[in-house]
């Protein structure tokens, strides 16, 4: 498969992954990743700022002992606490406690007393910025019906805010719903939203473009930017201390107090990204949501285009890496590429509150890099088979391994190299064959070639071709050799020595025991000749023809081995254990100048 087609395929796969991400199929997994980002941000000390006005007033376990009455009779105590908060200078109080006693189970006189006690809170709601939380029921999917008696204490319904924490499928609270819609065509804000309106002195209004003054997800939801672990984030007071006369003395000037349950048996406990496996209080979550609005440190959801752009960038980078990098570096490079994107996503979250898609680009990168690496591996395997098909029968195992490591050496085309060429054929081949059957000749040839090839491969020669009884061998191609001339001479010597040994060993048994060898060195063009379907490795140039003609002189000069003066000079004229005998200048067809040749002797 060519590179362009592979890139198109992985790009299409990347787009499909991005489409799935855009449609929300990876939103749950992305959310879990960002949960971890909250933790790492805190460990690095990059938490967003905390508005110092926010104070959590905890309805703690000790409050039960201090009040000493059933919870159904706490309305007047609530009023006392709220009043003292305002007296201490609190600007706004958010009453984050649901109050729904079962009046039918109480004596009539107690029921009337409860309504009277609630009126005290009602007066505070009329004269101060007291926001009372309420729960709701949906009737036929539309109407909002209060289940909280304190709802009636807020004569001005603007001071009622509905509890609207949104719990995801995995049980984690990550967002806040800003509006409910009842059967009338109007919006009802939530608890935190109403407090934020009072604090910023600016209404929160839903428009066609979203929610004025807030950054939302487009579905009237605001993501909560938790400013660190709840226990370390906000200033705290205790209801029990206030009821026991704790002197506040104006310490709450301009503060926004959120009063909520903090006892162990409270049902107002929720999982959050920052709770470190310990459930967070509802009032703590409301404080984090309010802090998000007051500090303008919103978490911004990814724009639709980011799913596609980031995924395609990952696809292209992984494709180029898998296509160009060394095979052993692909896995490590791919890991670094994905880790780099993960770090960029974390940095964008921690420093700018940007939520870029995480899983889709990582998955697209992995698919692109993995599939391209597999395709490249298959191409390399095909190339290895191609190398074996071209030269597997003609080179030594050592040369074969080098070629398999660098298959580009066998691409179609050629390059100029200095090599040594050896031609050898059987002396008196035709006369010896006249008295033999074809089967006997073939058997003798196979035995001869087996012996000769073993010697050729010993010196890493490359067999160019067999023509009848003739063998052409190259030294220095396709792999570079500094000692290609010496290797050719040693090969020729060992050929003659081995045939002499076989002749002595086999006696009268028929065989080919005499050869003629010609050796010459020069610059040639070597490379694959043919096309992609059929090709062969070849050497082209005058030195090839000259080596063949030197081999043709051996019979007349009565030498088994002849080499040119060029080859002799290539290795300096001397080899250990070998003597070179001058045979005089010789003429060659097509050459104006004569060239001296040398015979070979050894001890």
Beta strand pairing call for 269-270 and 280-281: antiparallel
- In the chain, % helix, strand, coil (3-state, to 5) comes to 45, 25, 30
pLDDT, residue 492, reads 92
- Tell me the average pLDDT across 571-578: 84
What's the whole-model pTM score? Answer: 0.65
Beta strand pairing call for 187-189 and 280-281: unpaired
- Tell me the average pLDDT across 128-141: 57
| C-alpha–C-alpha distance, residues 150 and 138, integer Å | 19
- Tell me the average pLDDT across 486-512: 86
Task: Name which of 111-125, 229-243, 292-306, 456-470 the model is least confident about.
Answer: 111-125
The CA dihedral of 410, 414, 419, 420, to the nearest 10 degrees, is 80
pLDDT, residue 183, reads 44
The share of the chain scoring above pLDDT 90, in percent, equals 22
Q: Which pLDDT band, with edges at 50, 70 and 90, does 142 fall under?
A: very low
SS3 469: coil
- Tell me the average pLDDT across 575-602: 87
Q: Which residue is listed with tokens 């030197």?
A: 550
pLDDT, residue 147, reads 46
Q: Which pLDDT band, with edges at 50, 70 and 90, does 407 fall under?
A: low
Q: Edge-to-edge strands of the sheet including 235-238?
A: 160-162, 130-134, 92-95, 256-261, 54-59, 235-238
Domains annotated for the chain, with CATH where assigned, are 9-14+307-387 (no CATH), 51-294 (no CATH), 396-602 (3.30.70.1230)
Give 454-496 pLDDT, tens digit per residue.
999 899 888 887 787 888 999 998 888 899 999 999 999 999 9
The share of the chain scoring above pLDDT 70, in percent, equals 80
pLDDT, residue 311, reads 85
- Tell me the average pLDDT across 242-260: 87
Each as own residue / partner, the long-range contacts of residues 260-268 (CB below 8 Å, 24 or more positions apart, any chain) are 260/56, 260/57, 260/58, 260/59, 260/96, 260/97, 260/284, 260/286, 261/58, 261/59, 261/96, 261/97, 262/56, 262/58, 262/59, 262/60, 263/59, 263/60, 263/61, 263/63, 263/64, 264/61, 268/96
Please name the helix (run of DSSP H) or strand (run of DSSP E) that holds residue 227, with its range, or none. none
Give 424-449 pLDDT, tens digit per residue.
998 888 777 777 788 888 888 888 88
* Better-scored residue on pLDDT, 516 or 220: 516
pLDDT, residue 118, reads 65
Q: Are 406 and 394 in contact (CB under 8 A)?
A: no
Averaged confidence pLDDT in the chain:
80
Q: Are 488 and 462 in contact (CB under 8 A)?
A: no
Give the chain's radius of gyration (CA, Å): 46
Q: Are 268 and 97 in contact (CB under 8 A)?
A: no
Q: Which residue is listed with tokens 């971890």?
A: 36
Q: Which pLDDT band, with edges at 50, 70 and 90, does 535 fall under?
A: low
Q: Give the residues across from 162 on adjacent strands.
A: 134, 190
Give 303-341 pLDDT, tens digit per residue.
888 888 888 888 888 888 877 878 778 888 888 988 999
Q: What HEC string does 78-144 produce?
A: HHHHHHHHHHCCCCEEEECCCCCCCHHHCCHHHHHHHHHHHHHHHHHHHHCCEEEEECEEEECCCEE
Residue 20, CB-side half-sphere exposure with 13 Å CA sphere: 17
End-to-end CA distance of the chain: 58
pLDDT, residue 38, reads 92
User: Is pLDDT of 413 > 70?
Assistant: no
Tokens linked to 467: 């023509």
Query: Which of 50-64, 93-107, 585-599 reaches the highest mean pLDDT?
Result: 50-64
- Tell me the average pLDDT across 518-539: 78
User: Is pLDDT of 602 > 60?
Assistant: yes
Angle at the Cα of 324 from the Cα atoms of 322 and 327, rounded to 5 degrees: 60
SS3 153: helix
| C-alpha–C-alpha distance, residues 542 and 260, integer Å | 99
Q: Are 93 and 257 in contact (CB under 8 A)?
A: yes
Please name the helix (run of DSSP H) or strand (run of DSSP E) that holds residue 60, with its range, or none. none
User: Is pLDDT of 393 > 70?
Assistant: no
Give the burial class of 331: count Cβ atoms within 10 A of its Cβ; 0-12 exposed, 13-18 middle, 19 or more buried: middle
Give 28-75 pLDDT, tens digit per residue.
888 899 999 999 999 999 999 999 999 999 988 898 888 887 776 777
């Amino acid at each position: 498969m060519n590179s362009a087609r592979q890139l198109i395929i992985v790009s299409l796969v990347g787009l499909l992954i991005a489409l799935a991400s855009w449609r929300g199929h990876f939103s749950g997994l992305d959310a879990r990743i960002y949960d971890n980002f909250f933790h790492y941000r805190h460990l690095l000390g990059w938490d967003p700022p905390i508005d110092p006005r926010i104070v959590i007033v905890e309805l703690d376990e000790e409050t039960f002992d201090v009040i000493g009455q059933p919870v159904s009779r706490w309305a007047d105590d609530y009023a006392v606490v709220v009043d003292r908060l305002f007296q201490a200078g609190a600007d706004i109080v958010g009453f984050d406690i649901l109050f729904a006693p079962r009046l039918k189970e109480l004596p009539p006189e107690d029921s009337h007393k409860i309504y009277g006690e609630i009126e005290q809170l009602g007066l505070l709601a009329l004269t101060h910025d007291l926001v009372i939380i309420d729960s709701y029921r949906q009737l036929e999917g539309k109407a909002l019906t209060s289940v909280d008696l304190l709802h009636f204490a807020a004569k001005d319904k603007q001071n009622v805010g509905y509890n609207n924490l949104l719990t995801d499928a995995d049980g984690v609270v990550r967002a806040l719903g800003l509006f409910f819609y009842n059967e009338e065509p109007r919006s009802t804000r939530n608890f935190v939203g109403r407090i934020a309106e009072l604090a910023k002195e600016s209404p929160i209004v839903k428009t066609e473009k979203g929610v004025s003054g807030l950054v939302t997800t487009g579905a009237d939801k605001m993501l909560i930017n938790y400013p660190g672990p709840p226990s370390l984030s906000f200033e705290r007071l205790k209801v029990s201390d206030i009821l026991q006369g704790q002197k506040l003395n104006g310490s709450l000037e301009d503060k926004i107090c959120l009063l909520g349950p903090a006892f162990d048996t409270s049902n107002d406990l929720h999982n959050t990204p920052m709770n470190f496996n310990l459930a967070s209080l509802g009032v703590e979550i409301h404080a984090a949501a309010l802090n998000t609005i007051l500090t303008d440190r919103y978490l911004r959801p990814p724009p639709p285009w980011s799913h596609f752009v980031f995924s395609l960038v990952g696809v292209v980078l992984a494709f180029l890496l898998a296509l160009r990098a060394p095979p052993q570096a692909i896995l490590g490079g791919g890991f670094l590429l994905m880790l780099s994107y993960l770090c960029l996503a974390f940095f964008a979250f921690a420093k700018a509150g940007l939520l870029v898609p995480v899983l889709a680009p990582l998955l697209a990168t992995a698919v692109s890099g993995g599939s391209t690496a597999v395709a490249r591996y298959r191409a390399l395997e095909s190339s290895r088979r191609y190398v074996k098909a071209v030269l597997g029968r003609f080179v030594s195992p050592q040369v074969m391994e080098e070629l398999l490591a660098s298959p580009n050496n066998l691409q179609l085309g050629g390059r100029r190299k200095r090599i040594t060429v050896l031609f050898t054929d059987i002396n008196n081949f035709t006369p010896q064959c006249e008295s033999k059957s074809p089967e006997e000749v073939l058997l003798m040839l196979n035995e001869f070639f087996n012996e000769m090839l073993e010697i050729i491969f010993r010196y890493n020669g490359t067999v160019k071709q067999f023509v009848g009884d003739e063998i052409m061998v190259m030294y220095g191609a396709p792999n570079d050799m500094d000692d290609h001339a010496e290797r050719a001479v040693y090969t020729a010597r060992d050929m003659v020595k081995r045939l002499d040994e076989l002749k002595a060993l086999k006696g009268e048994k028929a065989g080919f025991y005499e050869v003629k060898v010609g050796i010459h060195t020069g610059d040639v063009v070597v490379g694959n000749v043919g096309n992609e379907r059929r090709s062969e490795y070849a050497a082209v140039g005058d030195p090839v023809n000259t080596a063949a003609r030197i081999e043709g002189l051996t019979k007349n000069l009565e030498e088994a081995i002849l080499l040119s003066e060029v080859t002799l000079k290539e290795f300096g004229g001397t080899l250990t254990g070998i003597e070179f005998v001058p045979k005089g200048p010789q003429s060659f067809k097509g050459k104006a100048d004569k060239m001296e040749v040398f015979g070979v002797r050894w001890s």
